[in-house]
Structures are given as C-alpha cells and as structure tokens.
Structure 1
Amino acid sequence: MSRSGLVVASLAVVVFSLFPVFVMLSTAVDEDANAGGRGIIPGGLTLEHFTRVLTETRFPDYLVNSLIVAGVTVVASGLLALFAAVAVARFKFSGRTKILMMILIVQMVPMEALVIPLFLQARNLGLLNSLLGLSVIYIAFSLSFAIWTLRGFVAAVPVELEEAAYLDGCSWWQMFWKVLFPLVAPGLVAVSVFSFILAWNEFIFALTFMADDDMYTAAVGLRTFFTRSGTDWGAVMAASSIITVPVLIFFVAVQSRLSQGLMAGATKG
C-alpha cells in the first residue's frame, strides 16, 4: 500500500473511533438535544445540561461512589497481585503450577456468568448494598489478570540484583521496596489501568448489588436519566462526558509509566 493510502486508512480509523465521542460531546452542548430530529451539528451551544446534571441531580454522589470503589480496587488489587506475583515467580512450593493454571482458567469465565452465585455469596456475608462489597468483587476479577501480568515483570528482574541487596545487609522487605518494587512499577501501573477501567465502567454487578440509590455508581446513575416519560438525552450525554474526565486524568497521570510497562511486557514476556 502506498504512503497516501496508509494516511487515508489511518485517518479513516481515527474518524471512525472518534465519531461516537463527537456525537456525545455535541449532544451534551446542544440546546436542542431533546428535540426530535436533531442533527449531528448542534443548533445552538449551551452548558445547561452539565449544570443540571451537577446541581439538580444526585449524579455527583454517584461519581464519588465510583471514585471510592475504583480507588480501593486499584490499590488493593495492585498490592495483592504484586505479592502473589512475587510468590509464584520467586518461590518454589507445592501446587505452584496448579495455581497458575487456575489463574488462567478464571480469566476465561465471563463476569456475567457469576452474577447470581456472587450475589448469593455477598448476601450471606452481608456485603450487599455496600461499596466495600462491590470493591471486593472488582478486586477478585482484577487479580487474575494482574497476577499473570506482574509475574512476567517479576521474573524478568535478575535474581542477582536481589542477592546483591542481601549482601549489602538488606532484609527481604528492604530489598522488596528498594530494589524489586521500582523495577516492576511500570507493570504495576499497567495492571492498575485495567483495574481502574473495570471498576469505573462496570454496570451489571453495580446494579445488582446496590439496592439503595445512595450506593449507585456513576455507570448505574446514568439510568436515572431514562424515564417512562422519555429519555433526557442532553443529561445522558453530559453525564457520559463527565464520566470520561476521571479516566482521562488517570491516563494522563500514568501515561509515561504505562508506556514503559507495555513495552517491557512486550519484550520481557
């Protein structure tokens, strides 16, 4: 394919990918968003939909709930996965291969297939209608991918570096935080992005586990703009635009580390 053909194909992919985002933003600022037969281009610009979502609804509370759940999921799953990855990559113990196989099998099970059994388990444990209970579910789903990914990063660190730290008088914990942790940090960032997106965008479990409106996450909170009398498309698109902001901030904050993690994961395996 010629250079011009590659450019055209690349532009087509970019336009195709960004078109839904354009429609979302244009609808969010369109003063005629709820009028029938509106076009793609806004007839008039307004921030009324954003103002109404942020001041006249409970959507800000839903955003706070999502931030809490996502934050707990990222921190807890990252730490647990890192320690588990060190265990399976550095220590030899009975059943290590079986554990790795179980981790792979867990990733093959669709989340939706576990809604009912996990709902019953959460009910028995008193974790329904709780942000902590929802966070535990997301942590469990994040761990399989995180452990398997971080195992490759830990295994890529030369054992000689750890032995040199021991010779310098470091304890295991000192070696872990001063030597091993900085070297696997890019991989930890990569799995944190996965955990954050999972917790931030997930809908089925958040809807099933939460009985009170106060406990809704942002993804479930979007349902409040769909009523029997009709859909408030201006509010829906404004709320959807607001939801993307924390994701963008998170990506910008970890962008450099994420690039290092992806490159290292591709080359070190």
Structure 2
Amino acid sequence: MTAPLSVIAERGKATPRRFTKILLNLLGVLLAMLWAFPVYWMVNSSLLPSTVLERKTPTLLPFGGSFKNFTSVLSSGTFLNSLGLSLAIALITVTCCLIFAFLAALAISRFRFKGRKSFVLAVLFIQMLPAEGMFIAQYKLMGSIGLLNSVIGVSIVYIAAVVPFTIWMLRGFVAGIPADLEEAAMVDGLSRTQAFLRITFPLLAPGLVASGVYAFLQAWNEFTVALVLLDTSHRTLPLWLRGFIQESANRAINWGEVMAASTLVAIPVIIFFMFVQGRMTSGMVSGAVKG
C-alpha cells in the first residue's frame, strides 16, 4: 500500500533535519576535543622524560612513560606547603563570600530599605575598578595591621574582590524564589526563620554552589595579589609554579617536571568539580533566567 503524499513529504523534511542534528553533534564533539586537548597534552607530557619531549616529532601517547616527574616535583618538599596555603585561603574565601553575599542578596531581594538602589549600583561600580590600581593601598593596609605574609591578610583581600560579583549572582537566585512560598509556610504554623530554612534555603542550593565555584576559582588561580602580599617563604600554588619554572630556568628546563607540576596544581580543582558539577550546572542555568 502506497504511503500518503503528506507522510512522504514529512519524511523528506525529517531527513535533512536528522542530518543537520548529526553534523551539529559531530561539531560539538570536535569542539570538546579541541578544548580538552591542552589538558591531555599537559598530562601526557608529565609522564614522558625530557629526552622524548625535546624531539622534533611530538609524542601523542605516553608509551614508556612513568611517574618519575611527579616524584621529582613532590620530593622538593615545597609543593605540600603551598597546597596547604592555597587550600586554606580558598576555603576561607569561599565560606566568607557565601555568607556575606547570601545575606546581602537576601536583603536586596526581600526587603525595601532606604539606599537599596544605591547599594546595588555600588556593587556594580566596584566591579569596574581595576585590581592593579589598588595594589599599593592593599599592601600598605595589610602592612599597617600586621597581616602581610599571612593567610588571613590574603583572604581578606580576596573576599573583598569576590563578594561584589557573588552578591550579584545570588541576587538573581533569591529574587527568582517567590516570597509567597514562605508566607504559605508561615500560615501553616512555621516561623519566618523556619519557613526560610525549610522552604527557601534548599531551593537556593544551586545558586550557592555556582557562586561557591566562582569564588573558589578566583581564590585558587589568583596570582598578582598573592605576589604583592606574600614573600618567597609563603607561596600559593600559582606562585609556587612560577618559582618552580624559574628554578628550572637556571638550568636546562625539564618540561616533564613543569607539566607534572602544572598537573598537580590542576588536580584539586578537578576533584572539586567532580563533587559539585551536578549542582553547578543547574545553578548556572537557573541564574541565567531568574531575577
């Protein structure tokens, strides 16, 4: 039995559509591979000896590789100290930023008070200030209160730099949750605090995770402020990596060790993303359409 002309026409339209979808999927895979290749090249190079890396022909697979470069880097003894310093600064920064930004975003979104619009504009204005223009003032301030070369001093500066944008991120999430939910819970007998903690706060989890990721990355990767406020005896991981490369420059640079050091710096970030990736994705998407 011959199929109706309408069905045949619909099948004809579906074929180009399916072909376009396949092409877009292949393009997405290609872009993902291009994005991931530098990471793969770093890890691959960290497993190969310098004699192999210095050849004109690149080696794309780590056949015959070993963890010797990682052992050499870790045996220096300075990596673990820098790792502990970076973790302490990042955790303090993330915790304080989330607390301050959450309270500020809650006040902006839920309450109408005098100076509210001026506060929001001030938050945006602070984001426009170049960080380099405040280095001298930050150095003198930290020196005057005895917080140079300290975890607390660097954390304070990081928090001040990250909080404004974190407030702006969380504001959209808080504004996207109707206050009617809390009022309905209060009608059922909950206090305002109980209604907020049981109803509103769980809905803000994606926003808190997304904001925490932003604060963590800023604190983990920041270089210039740490370079100004810390001396050579106190180095975060970006400063440690720079110092490691400079030490290698005094002799023939061992690129295998440099790549191994770079991989070690990236591992904590990868572990962090493995724990928060689900919440982070939903948080980023929600923040794009709320507020």
Q: What does 1:83-102 align with in structure 2 at a 5 Å threshold?
A: 83-102=103-122
- Counterpart residue number, 2:38: 20
Q: Cα–Cα, structure 1 residues 164 and 79, in superposed 2: closer, same or farther, change >3 Å?
A: same
- Counterpart residue number, 1:30: 48
1:169 is displaced (CA, Å) by 4.1
1:245 aligns with 2:258: no
221-230 or 54-63, which deviates more: 221-230
Give the alignment's Cα RMSD to 1 decimal.
2.1
Q: What does 1:61-140 align with in structure 2 at a 5 Å threshold?
A: 61-140=81-160
1:146-193 Cα offsets, whole Å, 9 max, x none, are: 111111111111112222333344444333322221111110100000
Q: What does 1:176-195 align with in structure 2 at a 5 Å threshold?
A: 176-195=196-215
**Distance between the aligned counterparts of 2:128 and 2:228, measured in 1?**
22
Aligned to 2:66, what secondary structure does the other structure show? coil
Match for residue 198 of structure 1 among 218, 225, 234: 218
Letter in 2 for 1:210: L
Match for residue 257 of structure 1 among 258, 262, 279: 279
**Which structure is larger by alpha-carbon Rg, 1 or 2?**
2
Is this contact kept in 2: 1:152–1:265, CA < 8 A? yes
1:58-117 Cα offsets, whole Å, 9 max, x none, are: 111111111111111111101111111011111111111011011111222232332222
Q: Which runs of 4+ in 1 moved over 6 A?
A: none
Is this contact kept in 2: 1:33–1:233, CA < 8 A? no
Q: Cα–Cα, structure 1 residues 119 and 258, in superposed 2: closer, same or farther, change >3 Å?
A: same
Match for residue 164 of structure 1 among 166, 180, 184: 184
Is this contact kept in 2: 1:34–1:234, CA < 8 A? no
Structure 2 gaps, min length 5: 1-18
Is this contact kept in 1: 2:127–2:164, CA < 8 A? yes
1:149 aligns with 2:169: yes
- Counterpart residue number, 2:288: 266
Q: What does 1:200-215 align with in structure 2 at a 5 Å threshold?
A: 200-213=220-233, 215=234
Match for residue 236 of structure 2 among 200, 205, 217: 217
Is this contact kept in 2: 1:225–1:232, CA < 8 A? no
Is this contact kept in 1: 2:53–2:255, CA < 8 A? no
Question: Percentage identity across aligned positions?
Answer: 39
TM-score of the pair, normalised by structure 1 = 0.91
1:140 is displaced (CA, Å) by 1.3
Q: Cα–Cα, structure 1 residues 33 and 255, in superposed 2: closer, same or farther, change >3 Å?
A: farther
